[in-house]
Amino acid sequence: MATNMLTQDEAAEAMGVSKRTVQRWQKAGILPVCHLPGWIVRIHPSSVRRLVEEGYGKRC
């Protein structure tokens, strides 16, 4: 596993949304994730950047 992968909490913080929102986006197919053994979910930082560029997340 790449060490630069984000947890759901880290991705949520980076986008300024709740962990639950990240989970909803994951379930809806908006945010691709990597499932690891033991119910572990990781998210690639480029996926987070793409969503932010597309206007997802909180706007300042």
- pLDDT value of position 10: 96
Contact (Cβ atoms closer than 8 angstroms) between residue 18 and residue 12: yes
Give the tens place of pLDDT for each residue, 23-56.
999 999 999 999 999 999 999 999 999 999 999 9
For the chain, domain boundaries: 8-53
CA-angle at 21, arms to 20 and 27, nearest 5°: 90
Question: Can you tell me the distance from the alpha carbon of 27 to that of 51, in angstroms, rounded to the nearest whole number?
Answer: 15
Give the tens place of pLDDT for each residue, 11-29.
999 999 999 999 999 999 9
Question: Can you tell me the distance from the alpha carbon of 35 to that of 55, in angstroms, rounded to the nearest whole number?
Answer: 25
Q: Which helix (H) or strand (E) holds 52?
A: helix 45-53
- pLDDT value of position 2: 55
